[in-house]
Structure formats: structure tokens, C-alpha cells
């Protein structure tokens, strides 16, 4: 239902600048998507630049019961930024005026629209690091990362976004401006609302400022590559490294299909008869990681690697990681639609999960490529398909369900880092029993009595199921 | 007509399915940085093309964000899914052009058609334009126009462009069909020189210097007779058929003789020449000829770098380089110009913070969308000022003119000058346009 003209007028008055309130058709259609599936057109987009604007707009929306969907740069993979019930999209991407690095406190204070990679770049200038590194970090906003609790390859050693958020300023669904947490590492005063907001996918409020923890930047890195002729064996190799007392900064994985895709796209000299390749990065003090690299090298050989290679120069290291980076474009060339799942299993179950994925691939006769962060159990099974082929998409829907089932069987979870959003909400009852889910809904009800904040997300309605057509 | 409009649109929409909407293109897009809405991003435009093809918006509505795209193709460079954005843009522009031909006034149609069909491709008209500019500059008329009382009569926009224009082609000087021998002890290559229309008319001196430098590194240089404009301006305006005509003519005249390379010093023209094969899908004979042609096309920096230019003078400049977008994103020539600049003794080279961001010139974008273009230019100028360079090097006439406009706009003439790479190199080897004629 389109907004009443007087509501639009009120919003323009709040924002004060007409060009930050978008109501033209071409504009609205441009805010109907993110990097996931689905397309929903909002009734109005406002590009906010300060907390008062957000608070006033939400108060108005709460009064008039207009749905609100927060949005950063819409690079999310689960539909968090999709305005599925229309209403107002609050775009924070222009609000990037604050990016302070406090070296002595080892924290960063940032506006919601600051680009994730810019935080790490600013930290680097004073020898610090902001570790979360989702592959979209050059475009994603920090508020989007916090709302979705984004991960990334470095998650293996350093954890994910939630491990670095110390405090937040949030506008609640009733328009109140609140603060959670603070500037200290230790803080047990009251309920930990910071952790509640992180990963709440925009359903509990709008993040308007964040205080982030920074850590000393590791001085050096060494990378290794190990080739396996059996995918499950590669899984054991990962487990062996992780139980050896060494914690690499990244362990990335490529299966045979992704090796082939890369080699036919831009030959990088990867062994095409191999079933799996592991890329391992160690970081820390140069002397320490030299020892660790030798140890990992031998461990790989002992676990049955066909070939192990250590990057001796930074050129070699760069080339090694380039092969890994090429997987995405290489597989995308093959078929137009890529369904990227991020079901995650406990580390010990990586070999079993790989086995189950192979079975799913055969059973449903789908093109399944597995690559990504392996060391943290967050394998990324990607299904390659064509959105325009309805029959194929039906098969894909079934295969996605089977992947979730396998992950949960093995003690894992539906989503490691992308979030539930729209696509996975119908699977929530598979992971949670009635009362566990009920407690979450009660929290939502308490925060957002009128259900205006990102409605239609994360909780299934009766009869909801995954539809990719 | 209507059918053709939809054929183009449908073909364009087919290319949009490669987009996974990851948004990686956003930070690379100059219009996103300055206009700040998703609508003005590559991802947004790709989505709207699909929306138009599916009938959710009209071609007219689509034309607004499409016209505001500079076509710099920086988004292609960063796209993980290898979207053929440039191709899509051409097709959409073709569709819009057909649409507008039906709806625009006959006068406007005539004027636009006339410019694309008869002005840029015509050597005699472009020469006359060059001559007119030359007389205007040399006769003192320019000085009179720029005197205080009169200056206020000149619109701001024209005043800026006027300040940027220098060294037009003198009348009665004919370059076409001329052959220039190698002047190196060891003749290396026989090359054809592609003059370009704007380049030859407005920056004639740079073309001459290019030829001199090629001679110096051992090239026999032939300015092939009857060559015409590369067709980029036409293609980017949606006139695919006209662009094809230009391409055919160029392919024909350059086929008449055997050359090692077809060299040009305009990044945008070179990019177009290198994509001639894209115009002839489904036409095997011309496709083959276009492929043969494009393999020989090379930017002058590639040839000079390959053959090794002997530099004679120390130049103590602080230099930054604004790469032409189509040189980077289409020709993929990035290392050679920087290597040549850095080979000059005495030069301190400072790379821009965002070299791959378009300067806002965009062919004739700066004339049609003056305001938008100037906003993009402002971002570029602030990057340039941060480098504290006193020389800006470019490799394309459009960019060069835009940099000169930027300097004029910010009143920086006393501190910074904009030159073509060829001019800087000529200075470093003491080559002038008048020697060896």
C-alpha cells in the first residue's frame, strides 16, 4: 500500500533534504534487492545521516504501523535488507562521517555506513587490525556486518563480527535511542544487549554507531598449499592441523569441480586430477610461523597429501591466493545462478560433512561446488543452476533442504555467517524446538510490539517453505 | 522501429542474468560516489534494464540512469561474475536511440543524425573545426573574448572548455597519406598511425609528436589515407549501424598495406578499435577481418615501451598519472604508461589514490551532463591536489581536455599543467613537432 502523501511530507520535513528521500519508481526498484534471492519494492527510501533522523522516522513509522527495513550496501546473502512487506527502507550507506581509531584503548568508533575494509585500513596505519573480513568487505557497511554477524576466512583464528563489537548505539523499534555495552573489553553490567543486537538481522532496531575492538596486527604470514586425491582425506588433514596445537589464520578449501572451473577459466597450474586442495595461511611472528609452517608441511604429507607447496616469496603467496579468489568468477561463468549456502558443522565433522555433500550431489543430480572456509567447519556448498529453469530449481530446493538436514544431523547449524533472513527461515524449526524458538519470538515482541522492524524475517509463518522459483 | 527497440533491449536483458548483485561494483562507480543512490550504480542499472525488459518501467524511464552512466567500465574490472557491462550498455543505448527517434522532434533528430553521420567522420569538417579553433586561438580573438567585460557574456561552461583548448590543427596542413621514415639506426617496425577525429582536430600537435617518437624508436610510420573516426562516439550514443560503417571503412583502408601495428595515442579510440570484433557477431566475414585488425592495434605507450625510448633530458617534475578508463578497463594497458613516466630521470612519480576512478570526461558526457561531470571532476581534482603534483599526465584527448578544465576551474594554472604522455616524453627526448618534417 503506497504511503499517504502527508506521511511522505512528514518524512521530507524530518530529513530536511528532498534528495535524500526517494519515491521515484526507478529509485524504488533499485532498493528492491540484495545479493540474495527475492525482489520486493519499498514505498519509500530515506538516506539517513544522523541518529535524530532515524529516531523521528521510526517514531512516525511505529505510530502509523509502517514497515521499516534497514539497509547498508545490500551485499547480504540471506535477504536481510529486502523490504518484503514494502514500507520504508532506511539506507545508512551515506552515513559514514565517523571513523575514529583510538590507539590507546585499542578500539574504533564508527558510523553505521562506514565500509568494513576501511576500518581495517585505518587500524593498519597504527599497527592494529580489525579481523572480520567477509569477502564483501570492500563494499559492505559495518552496520550490515553487525546486523548479520558476518564472518570471513580469518574467522578460523580470530572469530567473527560478534567477537569485536564492544558497544552500540541503537534506535529501537519505538524510536528510542539507546546505548549498549561500552568502551571496555570486560563489561558485565546488566544484560548483554550488544550481543543480542549483533546478528539480529535488523529485526530489533537500527544500529547507528558501533564501538569495535581492535587487536595488534600480526607481523608476517606464510602460506601453504596441499593437494589431495581424496576429498574426505583433505577433511582429515584439516582436523589434524587443528588438533596439533597450531591455529592457522585461514584454511581454505577447493574441491575438484572448483579446481576444474578455475583451470578452464584462467589456468593457474592447479592439479586437475586432484580431488581437493587446501590453502593454509599462518600469521604471527616471522620466526614462530616459520617453525609452524614446517610442522604443518610435514603433517600434510603424513595425512596423505599428494603434494605440499610452501610459498617462498610474496609473489608465490599472492598467486596461491589468487587461485582461490578465482573460484567465484570461474564457477559463475558456468551457470548464471549460484545458490551459496553456509551451513556449518563442528570441526570434527568436516570429513563427514564432505561425504554427505558428495552424496547429495549424486542423489539430486545437481551441480554442487564446495569451496571456502573449511577450517571453521563453515564449508560453502554452492549450487550452480539457472534461475530461469523451473524444473532445475525444484531439484535445487530439495537439495538445499538436504544440505541443512545433513549439517544439523552432524551437530551443526543452518547458517555460519550469512544469516537466516528470508531463505532459511522455513528451516528454523529443524534446528530449534518450539520453546527455544518461542523465547526468541518473545524477545522480538518485547522490543517491537507493532512488528514494524524488518517484518517477515527470520521466524517462519505456518506453511512457509523455501521457494527459489 | 519498435521491434528493433525491443530486440536491443531483450539482448541487453539477457546479459543481466550474469549479475549476482553482490555489489562489488559500487565503490568503483563514479556516479555512485557523486550521486549517491543505488539507481546510479552498475548493479542498479543492470537491474533496471531487466525491469524495462520485463515491462515494469518504460524505456524512457530507463534512459535517465543509463544516460547518466559515463561508460567508463570500471565496474567490469572489479566484477567477479564478468558481466559484459559495456556490451549491455551499447545495446540499451541502441534501444533508447530507436525509442527516441520515434518520439523526439524532427529537428533534434536531424541535428543529432547530422553530427554523428557527417561531422565526426568527416575529415574536411573536422579539419575546418581544427582550423577555426586555430584561427580563434592565434588571432587574438580568444584573448579578446577572455577580457574582463566580454568574459561574462561567455557561459561558464564554454569558458571552462575554451580555456582547456589549446594547439588546434593549423589550416592547410595535411597529415593524411603521409609517410614518415624511421630515423633510428636500426629500423624496427612498420606501423600505421590512427589519427582519431577529435585528437587530430583539437590535439594535432600531440599526434605529430607521437609520430616523431615512433620514428625515433625505429618505426616507419604511415598515416593511412581515408581513415575515419573510430566510431566510439556513435556507438556510445546508440548508433550501432553508424559505428559499423566507420569500422568497416577503417578495416578496409588499413588492410590495404601490411603493418606490424596500428598505433594510436588516444586511449578511448584504441579501446574502440580493439573491440571492433564485437560489432560483427553473426557476420563471419567481417568478424574475421575485425579480429585480424584488432590484433594489430596498440597504444603508443606499448610500442615505445617495447622498443625502448632513449631519453635525453632530466625533467624535475612531480608527476601524477590519470589513466584513461578505456585504456585500463578495455585495453588493459596499465603498466606501460607508468613505466615510461618513471623512466624519465628527475621525475618524481606519485600515484593517485584512486587512479581507476573516471575523471568525468566520458566522451561528450561533460558537454551533455555538465553538472554531473563537474561533480566527478571535483573528486578527481581533490585526489590530484593531494599528490601535490605539478604535472598531470593523461593518455586520451577527452581526459586531457577534462584535466585542463579542472585546472582552469580551480585556478591552478600557475601550479599544475596537464599534458599527454607523448608531450612529456617528447620533452624528455627533446623532440619537437617541427623537426624531421
The pLDDT of residue A205 is 97
Name the residue with higher pLDDT: B186 or B158: B186
Q: Cα dihedral sign for B428, B429, B432, B433? A: negative
Residue at which a domain ends, from B75, B103, B131: B103
CB contact under 8 Å between B61 and A26, yes or no, is yes
Answer whether B48 sits within 8 Å of A47, measured CB to CB: no
In the sheet that holds B261-264, the strands lie side by side as B179-180, B219-222, B189-193, B261-264, B297-299
pLDDT in tens, B369-397: 899 999 999 999 999 999 999 999 999 99
- Interface test mutation site (partner B, options A30, A39, A330, max chain B beta carbons within 10 A): A30
Confidence of residue B436 (pLDDT cuts 50, 70, 90): very low
Q: Which residue in B has a C-alpha nearest to residue A136's C-alpha?
A: B24
**Contact by Cβ (8 Å): A7, A391:** no
**pLDDT at position B266:** 93
pLDDT digits (tens, 9 = 90+) for A243-276: 999 999 999 989 888 888 888 888 888 888 888 9
Name chain B contacts of A333, Cβ cutoff 8 Å: 81-82
* Residue A388 near chain B (CB below 8 Å): yes
> Which CATH entry fits the domain spanning A5-91: 3.30.460.80, 3.90.1150.200, 3.30.43.10, 1.25.40.10?
3.30.43.10
Per-residue pLDDT, averaged over A130-150, amounts to 95
What is the tens place of the pLDDT at every residue in A341-360? 888 999 888 889 988 999 99
> Grid coordinates standing for B80?
567477479
Q: At what angle do helices B2-16 and B42-53 cross, to 10 degrees?
A: 130
Residue ranges of domains in chain A: 5-91, 99-216, 219-419
What does the pLDDT read at residue A322? Answer: 83
Q: Which residues, numbered 82 to 141 in chain A, qualify as contacts with chain B under a Cβ-Cβ cut-off of 8 Å?
A: 91, 94, 115, 136, 138-140
- Residues in chain B within 8 Å Cβ distance of A332: 18, 20, 80-82
CATH code for the domain of B16 = 1.10.1060.10
Of B103, B127, B161, the residue that ends a domain is B103
Q: Which residues in chain A are contacts of B36 at CB distance < 8 A? A: 47, 94
DSSP structure string for A303-319: TT-SEEEE--SHHHHHH
pLDDT of B139 reads 62
Tell if the CB–CB gap between A35 and B20 is shorter than 8 Å.
yes
Last residue of a domain, one of B80, B103, B126: B103
- pLDDT tier at B151 (50, 70, 90 boundaries)? low
CATH topology of domain A219-419: Vanillyl-alcohol Oxidase; Chain A, domain 3 (3.40.462)
Taking CB atoms and an 8 Å cutoff, what residues of chain A touch B44?
Answer: 30
Domain that holds residue B390: 307-428
B22:A333 CB<8 A: no
Looking at the complex, does the CB of residue B348 fall below 8 Å from at least one CB of chain A?
no
Strand A206-213 to A165-171 pairing: antiparallel
- Quick check: B348 and B318 in contact, CB under 8 A? yes
Per-residue pLDDT, A277: 92
CA-nearest residue of chain B to A25? B57
Instruction: Provide the shortest C-alpha distance from residue A233 to chain B (in Å).
Output: 30
CB within 8 Å: A29 and B82? no
On whether any CB of chain A is under 8 Å from the CB of B36, the answer is: yes
Q: Which residue of A has its CA nearest to B57?
A: A26
Indicate the pTM of the whole model: 0.89
Q: In sequence order, what E strands does A132-249 have?
A: 165-171, 177-181, 206-213, 215-216, 220-228
The total number of structural domains that make up chain B: 2
Angle at A367 between CA A364 and CA A370, to 5 degrees: 110
> Would residue B97 count as lying in a domain?
yes
Is the minimum CB–CB distance between B51 and chain A shorter than 8 Å?
yes
CB contact under 8 A, B27 and A74: no
Give the pLDDT of residue A114.
98
Instruction: Provide the grid cell at B7.
Output: 530486440
Work out the average pLDDT over A161-179.
97
d(CA B160, CA A94): 31
The distance of B214 to chain A (nearest Cα, Å) reads 34
Cα dihedral sign, A200-A201-A203-A206: positive
Q: Which of residues 332-371 of A touch B (CB under 8 A)?
A: 332-333, 336-338
Question: Do residue A329 and residue B64 have CB atoms under 8 angstroms apart?
Answer: no
Chain A touched by B332 (CB under 8 Å): no
Are A136 and B36 within 8 A, CB to CB?
no
User: In terms of DSSP bridges, do strands A276-284 and A250-255 run parallel, antiparallel, or are they unpaired?
Assistant: antiparallel
CA distance A270 to B69: 39
B295/A150 Cα distance (integer angstroms)? 45
A189: burial class by Cβ within 10 Å (0-12, 13-18, 19+)? Answer: exposed
**Which of the given ranges, B110-119, B164-173, B233-242, B344-353, has the highest pLDDT on average?**
B344-353
Q: Which of residues 75-104 of B touch A (CB under 8 A)?
A: 79-82
The strands making up A367-373's β-sheet, listed across from edge to edge, are A307-310, A220-228, A276-284, A250-255, A367-373, A380-385, A337-340
Residue B78: CB atoms within 10 A of its CB come to: 17
CA distance A73 to chain B (A): 7
Residue B282 located in a structural domain: no
pLDDT in tens, B208-227: 999 999 999 999 999 998 89
Summarize the confidence of residues B172-198 as an average pLDDT: 81
pLDDT, mean of residues A1-26? 92
> Does the pLDDT value for residue A467 go beyond 80?
no
How many other β-carbons are positioned within 10 Å of the β-carbon of residue A34? 26
The per-residue pLDDT for range B305-332, each reduced to its tens digit, is 999 888 889 999 999 999 999 999 999 9
User: Is the separation of the CB atoms in B206 and B165 below 8 Å?
Assistant: no
For B23, the closest of A35, A94, A328 (CB atoms) is A35
Using 50, 70 and 90 to split pLDDT, how confident is the model at B437?
A: very low
Give the CA distances from residue B148 to residues A63, B137, B152, B153, B154, in Å, rounded to whole numbers and listed in that order. 60, 17, 7, 10, 11
Q: What is the DSSP letter of A103?
A: T
Question: Across residues A128-148, what is the average pLDDT?
Answer: 95
CB B278 within 8 A of CB B396: no
pLDDT of B365 strictly over 70: yes
State pLDDT tens for residues A77-127.
899 999 999 999 999 999 999 999 999 999 999 999 999 999 999 999 999
Which among B126-135, B200-209, B227-236, B316-325 has the top mean pLDDT? Answer: B316-325
| Closest to A208 in 3D by CA, of A63, A123, A109 | A109
Give a yes or no: residue B275 inside a domain: no
Fold topology of A99-216: 3.30.465
Q: Say if B186 falls within a structural domain.
A: no
Core vs surface per residue B261-271: b (16+ CB within 10 A) or e: bbbbbbbbbbb
Per the domain annotation, does B180 fall within a domain? no
Which chain B residue lies closest to A335 (C-alpha atoms)?
B18
Report which DSSP code applies to A19. Answer: G
> Cell numbers 604470514 label which residue?
A221
Shortest Cα distance, chain B CAs vs residue A34, angstroms: 6
Amino acid at each position: 500500500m503506497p504511503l499517504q502523501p502527508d506521511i511522505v511530507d512528514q518524512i521530507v520535513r524530518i530529513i530536511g533534504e528532498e534528495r535524500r528521500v526517494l519515491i521515484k519508481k526507478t529509485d524504488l526498484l533499485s532498493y528492491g534487492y540484495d545479493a540474495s534471492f527475492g525482489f520486493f519494492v519499498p514505498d519509500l527510501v530515506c538516506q539517513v545521516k544522523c541518529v535524530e533522523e532515524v529516531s523521528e522516522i521510526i517514531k512516525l513509522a511505529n505510530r502509523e504501523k509502517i514497515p521499516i527495513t534497514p539497509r547498508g550496501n545490500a551485499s547480504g546473502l540471506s535477504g536481510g535488507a529486502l523490504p518484503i512487506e514494502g514500507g520504508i527502507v532506511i539506507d545508512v550507506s551515506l552515513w559514514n562521517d565517523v571513523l575514529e581509531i583510538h590507539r590507546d584503548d585499542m578500539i574504533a568508533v564508527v558510523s553505521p555506513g562506514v565500509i568494513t575494509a576501511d576500518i581495517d585500513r585505518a587500524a593498519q596505519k597504527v599497527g592494529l587490525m580489525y579481523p572480520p573480513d567477509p569477502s564483501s568487505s570492500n563494499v559492505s557497511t559495518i552496520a550490515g556486518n553487525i546486523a548479520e554477524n558476518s564472518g570471513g576466512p580469518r574467522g578460523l583464528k580470530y572469530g567473527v563480527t560478534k567477537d569485536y563489537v564492544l558497544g552500540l548505539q541503537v534506535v529501537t523499534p519505538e524510536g528510542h535511542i539507546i546505548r549498549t555495552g561500552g568502551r571496555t573489553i570486560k563489561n558485565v553490567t546488566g544484560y548483554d544487549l550488544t550481543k543480542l543486537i549483533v546478528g539480529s538481522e535488523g529485526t530489533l532496531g537500527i544500529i547507528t554507531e558501533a564501538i569495535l575492538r581492535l587487536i595488534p596486527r600480526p607481523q608476517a604470514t606464510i602460506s601453504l598449499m596441499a593437494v589431495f586425491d581424496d576429498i574426505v582425506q583433505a577433511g582429515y588433514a584439516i582436523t589434524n592441523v587443528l588438533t596439533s596445537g597450531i591455529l592457522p589464520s585461514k584454511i581454505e578449501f577447493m574441491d575438484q569441480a572448483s579446481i576444474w572451473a578455475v583451470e578452464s577459466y584462467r589456468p593457474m597450474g592447479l592439479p586437475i586430477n586432484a580431488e581437493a586442495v587446501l590453502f593454509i595461511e599462518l600469521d604471527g611472528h616471522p620466526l614462530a610461523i616459520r617453525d609452524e609452517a614446517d610442522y604443518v608441511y610435514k603433517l600434510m604429507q603424513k595425512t596423505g597429501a599428494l603434494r605440499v607447496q610452501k610459498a617462498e616469496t610474496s609473489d608465490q603467496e599472492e598467486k596461491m591466493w589468487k587461485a582461490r579468489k578465482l573460484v567465484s568468477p570461474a564457477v559463475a561463468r558456468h551457470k548464471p545462478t549460484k545458490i551459496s549456502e553456509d551451513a556449518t558443522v563442528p570441526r570434527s565433522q568436516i570429513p563427514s560433512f564432505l561425504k554427505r555433500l558428495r552424496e547429495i550431489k549424486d542423489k539430486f543430480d545437481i551441480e554442487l561446488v564446495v569451496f571456502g572456509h573449511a577450517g571453521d567447519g563453515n564449508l560453502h556448498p554452492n549450487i550452480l543452476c539457472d534461475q530461469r529453469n523451473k524444473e532445475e530449481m525444484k531439484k535445487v530446493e530439495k537439495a538445499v533442504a538436504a544440505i541443512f538436514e545433513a549439517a544439523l544431523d552432524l551437530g551443526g547449524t543452518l547458517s555460519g555467517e550469512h544469516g537466516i533472513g528470508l531463505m532459511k527461515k522455513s528451516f528454523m524449526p529443524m534446528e530449534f524446538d518450539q520453546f527455544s524458538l518461542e523465547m526468541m519470538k518473545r524477545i522480538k515482541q518485547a522490543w517491537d510490539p507493532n512488528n514494524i522492524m524488518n517484518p517477515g524475517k527470520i521466524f517462519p509463518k505456518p506453511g512457509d517453505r523455501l521457494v527459489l522459483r | 522501429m519498435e521491434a528493433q527497440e525491443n530486440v536491443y533491449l531483450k539482448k541487453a536483458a539477457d546479459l543481466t542474468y550474469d549479475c549476482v548483485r553482490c555489489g562489488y561494483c559500487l565503490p568503483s562507480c563514479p556516479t555512485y560516489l557523486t550521486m549517491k543512490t543505488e539507481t546510479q550504480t552498475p548493479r542498479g542499472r543492470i537491474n533496471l534494464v531487466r525491469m524495462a525488459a520485463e515491462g515494469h518501467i518504460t524505456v524512457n524511464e530507463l534512459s535517465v540512469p543509463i544516460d547518466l552512466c559515463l561508460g567508463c567500465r570500471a565496474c567490469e574490472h572489479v566484477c567477479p561474475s564478468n558481466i559484459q557491462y559495456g556490451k549491455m550498455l551499447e545495446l540499451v543505448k541502441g534501444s533508447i536511440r530507436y525509442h527516441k527517434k520515434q518520439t523526439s522532434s524532427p529537428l533534434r533528430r536531424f541535428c543529432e543524425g547530422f553530427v554523428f553521420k557527417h561531422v565526426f567522420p568527416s575529415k574536411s569538417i573536422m579539419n575546418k573545426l581544427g582550423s577555426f579553433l586555430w584561427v580563434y586561438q592565434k588571432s587574438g580573438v580568444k584573448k579578446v573574448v577572455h577580457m574582463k567585460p566580454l568574459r561574462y557574456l561567455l557561459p561558464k561552461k564554454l569558458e571552462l572548455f575554451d580555456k582547456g583548448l589549446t594547439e588546434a590543427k593549423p589550416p592547410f596542413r595535411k597529415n593524411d597519406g603521409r609517410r614518415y621514415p624511421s630515423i633510428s639506426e636500426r629500423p624496427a617496425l612498420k606501423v600505421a598511425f590512427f589519427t582519431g577525429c577529435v585528437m587530430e582536430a583539437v590535439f594535432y600537435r600531440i599526434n605529430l609528436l607521437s609520430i616523431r617518437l615512433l620514428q625515433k624508436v625505429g618505426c616507419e610510420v604511415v598515416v593511412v589515407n581515408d581513415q575515419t573516426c573510430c566510431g566510439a562516439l556513435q556507438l556510445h550514443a546508440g548508433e550501432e549501424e553508424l559505428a559499423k560503417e566507420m569500422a568497416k571503412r577503417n578495416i578496409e583502408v588499413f588492410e590495404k598495406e601490411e603493418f606490424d601495428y596500428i598505433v594510436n595515442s588516444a586511449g578511448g579510440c584504441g579501446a574502440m578499435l580493439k573491440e571492433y570484433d564485437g560489432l560483427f557477431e553473426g557476420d563471419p566475414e567481417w568478424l574475421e577481418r575485425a579480429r585480424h585488425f584488432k590484433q594489430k592495434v596498440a597504444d603508443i605507450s606499448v610500442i615505445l615501451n617495447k622498443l625502448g625510448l632513449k631519453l635525453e633530458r632530466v625533467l624535475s617534475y612531480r608527476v601524477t598519472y590519470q589513466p584513461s578508463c578505456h585504456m585500463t578497463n578495455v585495453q588493459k594497458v596499465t603498466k606501460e604508461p607508468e613505466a615510461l613516466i618513471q623512466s624519465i630521470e628527475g621525475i618524481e612519480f606519485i600515484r593517485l589514490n584512486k587512479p581507476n576512478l573516471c575523471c568525468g570526461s566520458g566522451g561528450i558526457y561533460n558537454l551533455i551532463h555538465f553538472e554531473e561531470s563537474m561533480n566527478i571532476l571535483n573528486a578527481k581534482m581533490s585526489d590530484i591536489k593531494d599528490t601535490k603534483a605539478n604535472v598531470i599526465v593523461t593518455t586520451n584527448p577527452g581526459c586531457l581536455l577534462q584535466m585542463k578544465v579542472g585546472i582552469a576551474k580551480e585556478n591552478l594554472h600557475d601550479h599544475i599543467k596537464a599534458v599527454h604522455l607523448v608531450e612529456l616524453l617528447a620533452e624528455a627526448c627533446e623532440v619537437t613537432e617541427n623537426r624531421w618534417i
